[in-house]
Structure 1
Amino acid sequence: MAITDGTVVWLGQDSVGRALHPDAEVVDLAGAWVAPAFVDAHVHATSAGLLLTGLDLTGCRSLSDLLDAVRAADGPLIWGHGWDETRWPENRPPTRAELDEAARGAVVYLSRIDVHSALVSSALVDLAPAARDADGWSPDGPLSRAAHHHVRGAAKDAIPVARRRAAQEAFLSHAASRGVACVHECAGPDISSRDDLADLLAFDGGPEVVGYWGSRDPIDLPVRGLAGDLFVDGALGSRTAALCSPYEDADTSGALYLTADEIAAHLVSCTEAGLQGGFHVIGDAAMAAVVQGFETAAAVVGVPALAARRHRLEHVEMITAEQAAKLGSFGVVASVQPLFDREWGGPSGMYVQRLGAERGTALNPFSQLAGAGLVLALGSDAPVTVVDPWASIRAAVHHRTDGFGISPRAAFNAHTRGGWRAAGVDDGITGTLQPGAPATYAVWEAGELEVTTPDSRVQRWSTDPRSGVPGLPSLDSTPTCLRTVLRGRTIFERE
């Protein structure tokens, strides 16, 4: 492969390339495998960076594990993430009194794995007194909904600027080391802040950051759209995803934050302004409102204008075939997270605990979305799940519900070219390696390549560059990233 000024200018036989470019600097990759770099289509960089540099609770296997971690933490502000009570023998989070005892007066914010509720200390509640009168308040348990937004805002304000920027840098460096050359930051007033997003967009030297602002109100920053985590509802784990019928394990149907009319108005205003709009949507009641909103917007601006903007939906976990077909006709992007199914799908996972077997095993139907014509873009929703594109591809292929997975090739394309298309780059070459494409790629130590033939036989070849056989690494292995390059510039190189 020959690269000039950050663009691929030639691809083919090694000896021919050397003859065509006799003065080129030659980098011999010693049999490594080269492919388009990954795009993570949904991240929260600062929160994910704080997980890397702060209190990681994803490994806690009990309530007492969490309290021990808080006791061992230092500092006046303890920011942690990742607890999941559905995997604990106690099957409950700690009370505020238990947390206060462990915190010894510190300000503590501990987000649940889905980041839609949090455990907080009394010291943090004192910094956000409005939380006591807000929807989602609990005097002794986790806070959700508006109460959660109040305490999260106070916790964010308590983070020193230097610590916030260090967390962002740590996350972007980590993403680059996983072969990721671009991330979509899903920011918003209830998630981060204008300053947080401005710092992230100004960061130089790592993956490209495509910014989204989850609000109906414009922001004076170069964002791709008013989309991302503009919440129509919440999350299943925190029981705030909006459902048509109540949860199986609680007397609630979740929370609907936007009406169909509000959704339609936002889509119309974004379409007319030439912006990408979009929403966070998980529950079936929320999806019904979104589909109705798209139908109303299409009647106002017309289907061609609506589809041209490539409006996007995040998560898309509960959806019918009829709804998928309608959204496909509107040119919608589905930004999905396959590791959700790996973590919470299956007959005994959190989805079934919350929804029962019939509903709980019908989530994240990737094959249905692709078949309906939606553009698939894969991501992690970090820190909700880890940045591990190969694991994400594996989960998209080996879905826990039969018939819901997609092919390895489709999953790889959704994690590369699909991510660029989701960000509005639909030139036919970005996210590929061909002459004229940006030289954005990753170099992998990959072992064997694997190709599935039309009759489903699996054939394998080594990654010897002389073989010339196209394929993907076997999904039974995890390649090691050796180098990540963004438009000809190396942003990660393994020592």
Structure 2
Amino acid sequence: MRTLFTHGTIVPMDGTATALAMLVEDGRILAVADDLRPGDGTHVIDLHGHTVVPAFADCHTHLTFTGCQVVDGSLAGCRSVAELSDVLLQAVRAQPAGGIVRRWNLDDARFADRRPVQADLDAVSRAVPIVLSRVGNGASLLNSAAMSAIGLDRTVPTVEMRDGERTGWTWGEANHEALEFAVLSLTDAEIAAVARAAADLAVQEGVTTLHAIEGSFAGQAAGDRGRSNQWLERLLPVLGDLPITVVPLDSQLDSPADLARIAANGHKVAGGDLFLDGVLGAAYISGMARAALDDPYADGQGGSGHLLLDDATVTSFLMEAARHGVSLGAHAVGERAIAQFLDAWERVVDAEPEARRLRPRIDHGILPREADIDRAGSLGVLFSLQPVFERRSGGPSGQYAGRIGPARSRRTHRFRSLLRAGVTLVGGSDSPMNRIAPLEGIGAAVDHSVESERLTPLEALAMFTTGAAKAGGLEQERGTLSPGKLADFVVLTGDPLDPRQLEACRVRETWRLGRKLWVSAAPRAPLI
């Protein structure tokens, strides 16, 4: 069936002018123009002056963790140890025999009384394993049953000790093992529910494509174990039943040899969180790896962070990715980590010139050196950014300023500088750390605290449309509203290209393959 969308503003994002109408048939766009007229049998939809843009993509999400917060439950509202204990007691009582209790988004920094510890969880249950992931998933709190089940009831460097006793808090490798234990405990039915929950959150925000970073980080770069990515393999069968497209980024990278396995499974993009350094913002707690900076931190904790991998290992990962035709993404936040990635990619393209056709990407890329901005452009390295982090932590009184000083904090998230250097900017959220909400990300990129780094609304919109499509190798089918492409689009209230209206814009409808997935006037669930 042909459908003509009229009396709106169609923003193609392909370099052509906006238009008043769009014609769709069999899930594809036939035409975008001002003077389209309905033919016999054409269904006409009046847009009533609303704006239509390509459907959004979110290029840095942890789909499983995002859905788990809905299916298992979030602890974001807990503000005391007593309240947490009550929540967990109810969960333990409802747990079937042999199960575990998983909860997410624990924010101990906001507790009014004190930080919870293992003894508090053991008071709830010493028999049922309890795994509580902290906000950002960079640390977790476990009871003794979970410690034993995972094998952390021993001396492990990243298990916190106080006065010779485990506190239950883990980060680094121990936290990765805890998260692997939690995810692999999901039943098949829970995996399906988790995936659907994440997809439902996405379509309500105009997103029809998610890049999902999936796989255990335990043992990352520690050596080939010849294992499959069970985490992702159990998720893949349910992805085809979702109302969105999921681009899986296999992030289980025990060694460079995993790139052969990833390529053999048909994946052209991978990684996203090959950790070259640690964190800079809200996910950090004492003991965790920090972003690798050129100069010391300014928050009194000392040091300048450190690189988690040596140069030879990073080069080996990128070289193997290139040999197998896989575009690899890596977590690099500080100057030294970003430089390390660019150095390694430069070695790869010098040795394998054909590798330039690939699209390696730096995920986060918060604090690049000036010279590395231009170098990224010349090397064709994409920057996968989460603009909302700048809104949350940037500015002269923000968290970045507190950690690295006001002067250096003006150099975070160099949106305009990177774009000027020819770098393709890719938009994401890092969900569940931030909500899947591209309009918020677009607004944050337009409203950078440093005026010279702000993007125009059109440039920011490109991060979540054309740039995102390029990152996933999907630009032939998605990213613009051009004739022949898939009819994935969003109807917005207000004009997203007008900075004065951008903050008030909302997703009115989400369409995929010419079918309406969601409307804002309906209950907040997809219409599939």
Report the TM-score when normalising by structure 2: 0.81
SS of equivalent residue, structure 2 residue 426: strand
Residue of structure 1 in register with 2:478 after alignment: 430
- After alignment, is 161-170 or 238-247 more displaced? 238-247
**2:86 paired with 1:39:** no
User: 2:513 aligned with 1:492, yes or no?
Assistant: no
Q: Over the residues paired in the alignment, what is the CA RMSD in angstroms?
A: 2.7
Secondary structure (helix, strand or coil) at the match of 1:94 reads coil
Residue 194 (structure 1) aligned to one of 229, 232, 238: 229
Match of 2:447 in 1: 398
Within 1, Cα distance between the matches of 2:135 and 2:267? 27
Distance 1:362 1:489 in 2: 43
Match of 2:29 in 1: 8
Of 124, 138, 142, the match for 1:116: 138
Offset at residue 130 of structure 1 (A): 4.4
1:203-214 paired onto structure 2 within 5 Å: 203=239, 204-214=241-251
Q: 1:476 is matched by which residue type in structure 2? A: E
Q: Which residue of 2 aligns with 1:82?
A: 105
Superposed displacement of residue 87, structure 1:
5.1
CA contact (8 A) 1:32 1:443 kept: yes
1:17 aligns with 2:21: no
* Residue identity matched to 1:212: L
The whole-number CA distance in structure 1 between the counterparts of 2:37 and 2:411 is 50
Letter in 1 for 2:338: M
Residue 451 of structure 1 corresponds to 498
1:373-412 alignment, distance < 5 Å: 373-412=422-461
Q: C-alpha separation between the residues in 1 aligned to 2:502 and 2:81? A: 35
Are the structure 2 counterparts of residues 366 and 13 from structure 1 closer, same or farther at C-alpha, using a change threshold of 3 Å?
Answer: closer
- In structure 2, the gaps of 5 or more residues are 1-21, 161-165, 221-227, 523-528
Q: Compared with structure 1, are the counterparts of its residues 205 and 242 closer, same or farther at alpha carbon in structure 2 (3 Å cutoff)?
A: closer
- 1:55 aligns to what SS in structure 2? coil
Distance 1:119 1:246 in 2: 29
Tell me which residue corresponds to 2:308.
Answer: 257
Residue identity matched to 1:179: G
Give 1:81 deviation, angstroms: 2.3
How many residues of Structure 1 are paired with residues of Structure 2 in the alignment? 466
C-alpha distance in structure 2 between counterparts of 1:325 and 1:334, whole Å? 12
Give the aligned partner of residue 339 of structure 2.
Answer: 288
Change (3 A) 1:311 1:401: same
1:113 and 1:381 mapped to 2: Cα distance? Answer: 12
1:95-494 equivalences under 5 Å are 95-102=117-124, 105-130=127-152, 132-138=154-160, 139-140=166-167, 142-190=169-217, 194-202=229-237, 203=239, 204-214=241-251, 215=253, 216=256, 217=258, 218-219=261-262, 220-236=264-280, 237-238=284-285, 239-244=288-293, 245-247=295-297, 248-251=299-302, 253-302=304-353, 305-427=354-476, 430-444=478-492, 446-447=493-494, 451=498, 474-482=501-509, 484-494=510-520
Deviation for aligned residue 1:206: 1.3
Q: Distance in 2 between matches of 1:183 and 1:86?
A: 30
Letter in 2 for 1:301: E
Aligned letter for 1:241? R
Q: Is the 8 A contact 2:210 2:246 kept in 1?
A: yes
Other-structure match for 2:12: none
Distance 1:173 1:145 in 2: 31
How far, CA to CA, are the matches of 1:28 and 1:207 in structure 2?
Answer: 25
**Alpha-carbon separation, structure 2, partners of 1:358 and 1:267:** 33
Q: Distance in 2 between matches of 1:100 and 1:88?
A: 19
2:279 is matched by which residue type in structure 1? Answer: A
Matching residue's letter, 1:155? A
Give distance in 2, aligned partners of 1:355 and 1:96: 32
Cα pair distance change 1:321/1:108, threshold 3 Å: same
Displacement after TM superposition at 1:277 (Å)? 1.6
183-192 or 45-54, larger mean C-alpha shift:
183-192
Find the aligned partners of 1:72 and 1:373 in 2 and give their Cα distance.
54
Kindly provide the amino acid, as one letter, of the partner of residue 345 in structure 2: F
- Structure 1 pair 402–85 and aligned structure 2 pair: CA distance change class (3 A): farther
Instruction: Pick which of 24-33 and 47-56 moved more.
Output: 24-33
Structure 1 residues 305-359: Cα deviation after superposition (integer angstroms, max 9, x where no partner): 3331011111111211211111111111111111112222233433334334344
TM-score for both structures, normalised by structure 1: 0.86
What residue in structure 2 maps to residue 468 of structure 1? none
CA displacement 1:9-33 (0-9 Å, x = unmatched): 112236x321xx3222333344433
On the 8 A contact 2:415/2:454 being kept in 1, the answer is yes
Identity %: 29
By how many angstroms is 1:389 displaced? 1.2
Select between 107-116 and 235-244 the one with higher mean Cα deviation.
235-244
Deviations 1:169-202, CA, capped at 9 Å, x for gaps: 1111221121101010112232798344234433
| 1:469 aligned residue | none
1:360 and 1:240 map into 2 onto residues whose CA distance is 19
Asked if 2 retains the 8 angstrom alpha-carbon contact of 1:7 and 1:436, the reply is yes
Whole-angstrom distance in 2 between the partners of 1:293 and 1:310: 14
Higher mean displacement: 122-131 or 351-360? 351-360
Report SS of the residue matched to 1:317: coil
Distance 1:370 1:493 in 2: 34
The answer to which of 402-411 and 171-180 deviates more is 402-411
Q: Deviations over 1:86-143 (max 9, x none)?
A: 55567x7422223433556542222222222212222211111147443412121531
SS of the residue aligned with 2:308? Answer: coil
User: Does the aligned pair in 2 maintain the 1:339–1:380 contact within 8 Å?
Assistant: yes
Q: Structure 1 residues 378, 64: CA separation in 2 closer, same or farther (over 3 Å shift)?
A: farther
Per mean C-alpha deviation after superposition, the further-off stretch among 415-424 and 359-368 is: 359-368
Closer, same or farther: CA 211–448 of 1 in aligned 2, 3 Å: closer
CA pair 185-164 structure 1, distance change in 2 beyond 3 A:
same
Q: Distance in 2 between matches of 1:262 and 1:200?
A: 29
Give CA deviations for 1:151-171 in whole Å, capped at 9, x if unaligned.
222222322221122111111
Aligned match of 1:463: none
| Structure 1 residues 295 and 86: CA distance shift in structure 2, 3 A | farther
C-alpha offsets along residues 20-49 of structure 1, whole Å, 9 cap, x if unaligned?
Answer: x32223333444332110001011111100
Q: Which moved more, 1:96-105 or 1:267-276?
A: 96-105
Q: Measured at CA, do residues 32 and 426 of structure 1 come closer, stay the same or move farther in structure 2, by a change above 3 Å?
A: closer
Partners of 1:273 and 1:182 in 2: how far apart?
24
